[in-house]
Structure 1
Amino acid sequence: MEQKIRTIHEPARDIPVRAAADILIVGAGPSGLMAAQAAAGKGLKVMLIESRGYLGGNLTIGLPILGFLGEKGNQIIKGLPQRFIDRLKEKNAASDHRPCKLHVSLTIIDPEASKTLALQLMEEAGVEVLMYVFCTDVIKEGDEVKGVIIESKAGREAILAKTVIDCTGDADVAYRAGVECHKGDAEGGMQPPTLMFSMRGVETQRLRDAIVNQPEIYDMDIMPAESFRNEKFITVGLRNQIGKARDAGIDIPVARTILITGMAEDEIWVNMSRVNGVDPTRPESYTHGETEARKQIYEIMKYLEQYVPGFDKAWLDRVAPFMGIRESRVIVGKYVLTAGDILACRRFDDAVAVASYPVDLHHPKGGDCTLEYCGDCYDIPYRTLVPAHVENLLVAGRCSSFTHEAMASTRVMSTCMALGEAAGRAARIALEEGVRPSQVDVQKLRRELKETGAYLR
């Protein structure tokens, strides 16, 4: 007999207050790390909480950082994000920013070194870090957020804060605070996620030579042969080979072969799993995505070993600890950035970041994607970080105020890092001035960003 769906009444109870902070950042991915550093200092207590047992988010799953350079070759992401790369380079754990015909620019980083550096930076900045906790609710008085409720093995606790910055990627804090949020396109379809994995023992020179010398067989999308003469590169293509593999009965979920060199000479990260219909805000859907993507890895490996030069003796080295989510909730802020703004290279008086990555839309249905370029770069206004009707809350990263199409450009890590830095500095300036973050002097914020090394037009 089918069990009826029921609700359970939870009795009211007193929740212990674990801590009180001036600025609380929820989520320690690319935007959260930058926000915490930017907010710290001048005697303020800054806290950073994270659900996983390490910091860094998508910096730790084998992805390159895209978008430090603009379409005209100039560097448009600087400030704290660049200092993060500089520190990695000191450890030989990051490449230079390399121009890329398809992705504008490519910066290879080492995932494990990124985790270690993230913790070091928080310690140096005096940020109090708390891991293994989930934000499950907010504390709100009127239209003001006063803190969050967390859950962990220690139970249910509260953290009070004068300002909260939501860097969860899923707008978890904003959603629970009653901020209007959206997911996906007009039908709710979101860009599908990918579970990255790396292979070692790859003969990268063989792969490079095949692409350069036999382009009629090993075809690339847009990218010229010269791209593969560099030590570090990314492939997007080999559609011919995927067609042959499919004819032979190998199930490949994507239309293109996306391979990224790692920091080691024989290391390749593979960006080819794809599970359509995943909603990362629903655990059953996320579980399905992780399960299916892990199954796909072994079909993809079979394809690489049999159809891509240099992989016949390679082995699976590691699988990313979680799926890379391209799309989730986004908020409705004081301004909603659109694809039209991006493609028009629009400028804003309250710009706090500049970006240039194309509108790279992985279709919610099917296995392909489309890219649209603006030809230069565009501004992201401060108002995209500010919820329309909730105070003492800023939202930074891919869950800021963007349309479905615009977020296909702003979602890359370099842009999220720049937005995190802007949010952290804004939160601190607002407290120093005794105003809400929504009322901060944006021109003062812009001056500080420029004075500390960020790029603004």
Structure 2
Amino acid sequence: MTAPQVRSIEEPARKIPVAAEYDVLVVGGGPSGLTAALAASEDGLRVGLVESRSFVGGNMTIGLPVLGFLGQKGNRIIDGLPEAFIQRLRDERDGASEHRPCPLHMGITLVEPEAVKTVALDMLTEAGVDVLFYTFFAGVVMDGDTIRGIITESKSGRSALLARVVIDCTGDADVAYRAGVPCEKGNAQGGMQPPTLMFCLGGVDTDALRMSIANSPPEARTYLTDFIPAEYFGQNHQFIVVGLRELMAKAKAEMNLTIPNERTIIITGLKKGEVWINMTRVAGTDGTDARSLTKGEIEGRGQIDDIVTYLTNYVPGFEQAYFTKTAPFLGIRETRRIKGQYVMTQDDVLSCRHFDDAIAVASYPIDIHRPEDNGCTLIWCGDCYDIPYRSLVPQKVENLLVAGRSISCTHEAMGAIRVMATCMAMGEAAGRAARISARGNRPPSEIDVADLRRQQLERGVYLRNPDGTRAAAGARHPAS
């Protein structure tokens, strides 16, 4: 049997027009990209933001709550631009809840996807950011080991965008990878956390759902709500349910349903009777491969009917529920991670490590949807841990920063730092670092991190002293 022939064509060389030049260019308009662009534009630099979709907000637009604003001790540990964004969502559009304590997720902040798109774009345009939608990243412009810009593809054709500093907020380290930064994917065996295609149901009696859990006596309970006590549901009208394992097993057995998940995950929306369902699970999907993503989208959509059948026939409050919409894209939990000046580890998270060059504080537990089975690993550290600036600075390539879940960390640490509030905090730091770099005409790897930390504190960012207390603006802090 002969091997399949590998075919290729030779593309003719051509001159590519330079469509724009910036001081700072942000690639990707998700949670980290939004705050990176806002921070970079604070004192008048020319900032561009490139996004392949028709809106900004990324995973904040697919029905997920924002996790990570609250720490494991109940205190708010994310401030600055992420908090300003949530407050504006809440004040102008009634598009965000308060930060609600949650026994499992530490804290949840519900957001309305359409409000996210509007408010995020308003903030960017008001800040003077040059936003470019419907534009795909296609390559890098390099000068030796220094990135000078990117190549894009769009309806307008192929063009170049140049910048003094580029921030990769793609979530997949697309820019860093193409530029030659060493990258890793997945666990030791290359397995990556499976993505989920979120979908929304209307007509749900969420009070009936929560009270069915709150009022069930332990000896009669058919619910196993993971780490969330029944009392929580009696006190909260908006909530997350994670569990109902026995009900799901019963539904699978009695109705021959195919649901590749062990747990029911229900997230109430901000609108009455609306819930988002986080239960599809597409194992083996590689979020950096278009063919794999397509297969994952098809499989995810194919799982929805059985999940809806289970919910409407077995879960209290869903008797009159009806399908309304799916998320606009798969929710990807894990793809590439760069190798940077420092690699964050599981030990850094679990030891609540303090770094002299910390630019953000996080507290979300190590949360890994295991690639090899239908289960999930959760490990808490008990408090907070720092994210060092060095993990945003890649090896081998200058004038480039990375923010979001693809920073320099291990598979296990990524399971903790991947949530949206933390990504927004990293984006804010990257944007401010890029601004310092562009203003000082030195690469991000050589900026004064003490100055970055000072500016972070002056803008209200939550950072910690070595003893764990909140650092104050104006205080002296060492940096390495």
Give the TM-score range, shorter chain: over 0.9
For 1:414-451, what per-residue CA distance to the aligned partner results, in whole angstroms no more than 9, with x for missing partners?
Answer: 00000000000000011222211111111111111111
Q: Distance in 2 between matches of 1:453 and 1:129?
A: 26
Contact 1:52 / 1:131 at 8 angstroms: preserved in 2?
Answer: yes
Q: CA deviation at 1:102?
A: 0.7
Contact 1:211 1:219 in 2 (8 A): no
Unpaired segments of 5 or more residues in structure 1?
A: none
**1:4-54: CA deviations, max 9, x gaps?**
321111121101111111100000000000000000033311000000011
In 1, Cα distance between the equivalents of 2:279 and 2:210? 19
Pairs within 5 Å for 1:345-424: 345-424=352-431
Q: Output the CA distance in 1 between the equivalents of 2:15 and 2:62.
A: 39
Summarize the Cα distance change of 1:444–1:311 in structure 2 as closer, same or farther, 3 Å threshold.
Answer: same
1:150-169 deviation per Cα after TM superposition (whole angstroms, max 9, x unaligned): 01121110001100000000
Alignment partner of 1:241 is 2:239 = no
For residues 374 and 74 of structure 2, the distance between their equivalents in structure 1, rounded to whole angstroms, comes to 30
Aligned-partner residue type, residue 428 of structure 2: E
Unmatched tracts of structure 2, length 5 or more: 465-480
Q: Distance in 2 between matches of 1:37 and 1:79?
A: 11
Distance in 1 (CA, whole Å) between partners of 2:3 and 2:323 is 43
1:200 alignment partner in structure 2: 202
Could you give the per-residue CA deviations for residues 231-271 of structure 1, whole angstroms, max 9, x where no partner exists? 11000010010110111211111101000010012011100
* 1:288-310 superposed Cα distances (whole Å, 9 cap, x missing partner): 11000001011100000011001
Give distance in 1, aligned partners of 2:277 and 2:7: 43
In structure 1, the residue matched to 2:64 is: 63
Amino acid in structure 2 at the alignment position of 1:455: Y
Q: Secondary structure of the residue that 1:252 maps to in structure 2?
A: coil
Cα deviation for residue 219 of structure 1 reads 2.3
Q: Which has the larger displacement, 429-438 or 253-262?
A: 429-438
Q: How does 1:119-198 map to 2 (within 5 A)?
A: 119-198=121-200
Measured after TM superposition, the shift of residue 387 of structure 1 is 0.3
Q: Is the 8 A contact 2:352 2:385 kept in 1?
A: yes
Residue by residue over 1:383-440, the C-alpha shift from the partner in whole angstroms, topping out at 9 and shown as x without a partner, is: 0000011100000001111111100000000000000000000000112222111111
1:225 to 218, 227, 230: 230
**In structure 2, what residue type is equivalent to 1:134?**
F
Matches within 5 A, 1:422-433: 422-433=429-440
Structure 1 letter corresponding to 2:170: T
Identify which of 294, 303, 316 aligns with 1:309. Answer: 316
Counterpart of 1:452 in structure 2 is 459
3-state SS in 1 of match to 2:300? helix
Q: Post-superposition shift, 1:186?
A: 1.0
TM-score, normalising length: structure 2: 0.94
Contact 1:202 1:268 in 2 (8 A): yes
Which of 339, 346, 360 is equivalent to 1:339?
346
- The secondary structure found in structure 2 opposite 1:279 is coil
The number of aligned residues is 457
Deviation at 1:2, TM superposition (A): 9.3
Q: Which residue of 2 aligns with 1:15?
A: 16
Distance 1:180 1:330 in 2: 9
> What is the rounded CA distance, in whole Å, between the counterparts of 1:20 and 1:202 in structure 2?
50
User: Aligned Cα RMSD in Å?
Assistant: 1.1
Match of 2:477 in 1: none
Return the alpha-carbon distance in structure 2 between the equivalents of residues 315 and 430 of structure 1.
Answer: 51
CA distance in 2, matches of 1:193, 1:251: 17
Partner-residue secondary structure (3-state), 1:176: helix
For 2:372 and 2:285, the matched residues in 1 are separated by 11
- More moved, 354-363 vs 431-440: 431-440
2:179 maps to amino acid = A
* Residues 45-64 of structure 1 aligned to structure 2 (within 5 Å): 45-64=46-65
> How far apart, in 2, do the equivalents of 1:109 and 1:435 lie?
38
Q: Which residue of 1 aligns with 2:85?
A: 84
What's 1:35 paired with?
A: 36
CA contact (8 A) 2:206 2:237 kept: no
Moved over 6 A (4+): none
Q: Is 2:321 the partner of 1:320? A: no
2 CA distance for matches of 1:128 and 1:337?
Answer: 33
State the distance in 2 between where 1:405 and 1:196 align: 24
CA distance in 1, matches of 2:168, 2:400: 7
| C-alpha contact (below 8 Å) 1:31/1:421 kept by paired residues | yes
- How far residue 3 of structure 1 moved from its aligned partner, in angstroms, is 6.7
- Larger mean CA deviation between 305-314 and 220-229 belongs to 220-229
Amino acid at match of 1:12: A
Q: Identify the residue that residue 306 of structure 2 maps to in structure 1.
A: 299
- Structure 1 segment 92-111 matched on structure 2, within 5 A: 92-111=94-113
Q: Is the 8 A contact 1:46 1:127 kept in 2?
A: yes
CA deviations on 1:173-220 (whole Å, 9 max, x unpaired) are 000000000100111100000000110100111101111112511221
In 1, the alpha carbon distance for the partners of 2:253 and 2:4 equals 45
Alpha-carbon displacement from aligned partner over 1:127-167 (angstroms, at most 9, x marks no partner): 00001111111000011000000011211100011000000
Whole-angstrom CA distance in 2 between matches of 1:430 and 1:392: 8
Which residue number in structure 1 is paired with residue 265 of structure 2?
258
Separation in structure 1 between the aligned mates of residue 160 and residue 62 of structure 2, nearest angstrom:
30
3-state secondary structure, aligned to 2:406:
coil
Give, in angstroms, the shift of residue 226 of structure 1. Answer: 2.0
Moved more, 144-153 or 246-255: 246-255
Separation of aligned partners in 2, 1:434 and 1:219: 57
| Displacement of 1:111 | 0.3
Alpha carbons 1:210, 1:218 under 8 Å: kept: no
Residue aligning to 2:478: none
TM-score calculated relative to the size of structure 1? 0.99
State the Cα deviation string for residues 272-327 of structure 1 (Å, max 9, x = none).
Answer: 00010000111111111100000101110000001100111110111100010000
Which residue does the alignment assign to 1:443? 450
Q: Is the 8 A contact 2:165 2:437 kept in 1?
A: no
| Pairing partner for 1:116 from 111, 115, 118 | 118
Aligned to 1:24, the other structure's residue is in SS state strand
